[in-house]
Structure 1
Amino acid sequence: MILNSNSSKPIYVQIAEWIETEILSDALQADQKVYSQYQLSDMLNINPATAGKGLSLLVDEEVLYKKRGLGMFVSEKAKNIILMRRKNETLGELIGNLVKEAAYLNVSEDELIRLIREEMGRGNEE
């Protein structure tokens, strides 16, 4: 993992997103132990508190859970939580921008839906 210190996203958010991506790609499975804040700190050359904040963010979202004395683990529902949040946030933002742009361009709802269907058809061909 490479952190982007020039990103507008804080380092702890980048860490959380990286772990989420590891879960989505099945590199981390349900009930599998994840890196500790100290392992992340050593790997990424960052403050352990920053790494801990990224892990805590995922615990708060129920993507990870703590086992006292053993560390943090991937929750059973982690993948679904991440997928639902990313769909709602990312796609919601993109769709909102798309609808605004369509309005500026005077594109009708029917035409916009047709364009989306065409694009989805091209995506399925690849």
Structure 2
Amino acid sequence: MKLNSTEPIFIQIAKYFEDQIVQGFLEEETQIPSTTVMAKTYAINPATILKGMNILVDKHIIYKKRGLGMFVSTGAKNIIEAERREMFKTNVIRTLMEEASKLGISKQEIVEQILNWESDNK
């Protein structure tokens, strides 16, 4: 995990675990590293780590097994992907279309650019 200075650390921690789940590095019902391990590894206050984890608990992505630690919830990957798809539609596509409209770029031109990008990046 590489931290940046543009967003709060606890948000970056939550995103880090989400990325690990989406990419398949953390599977459902597997234990995630403890706050102590994370704090020592990345020299971050354990309370900050816990704050990031609590975001994921609130979203039902991870859960606590008393005395054992935190685990990835069943369906966590689906939850994250659904949320990210919605954010993509709302943030990225809407912004793209608004900017294209301002610049007089047609939907067809956008589609052509996407298709060209796909063929260039195979």
TM-score, with length taken from structure 1: 0.85
User: Which of 50, 53, 64 is matched with 1:52 structurally?
Assistant: 50
Alignment of 1:1-126 (within 5 A): 1-4=1-4, 6-7=5-6, 9-116=7-114, 118-119=115-116, 121-122=118-119, 126=122
Residues 6-25 of structure 1 show CA distances to partners (whole Å, capped at 9, x for unaligned) of: 22x10001111111111112
Q: Once the two structures are aligned, what percentage of the paired residues are identical?
A: 39
Alpha-carbon distance between aligned partners in 2 of 1:13 and 1:28, rounded to the nearest angstrom:
18
Distance 2:46 2:110 in 1: 48
TM-score (norm 2): 0.88
User: Unmatched 5+ residue regions in structure 1?
Assistant: none
Deviation at 1:110, TM superposition (A): 4.3
Aligned-CA RMSD value: 1.8
Count of aligned residue pairs for this structure pair = 122
Runs (5+) with no aligned partner, structure 2: none
Cα distance 1:120–1:92, how it changes in 2: closer, same or farther (>3 A)? farther
- Whole-Å separation in 1 of the counterparts to 2:85 and 2:66: 32
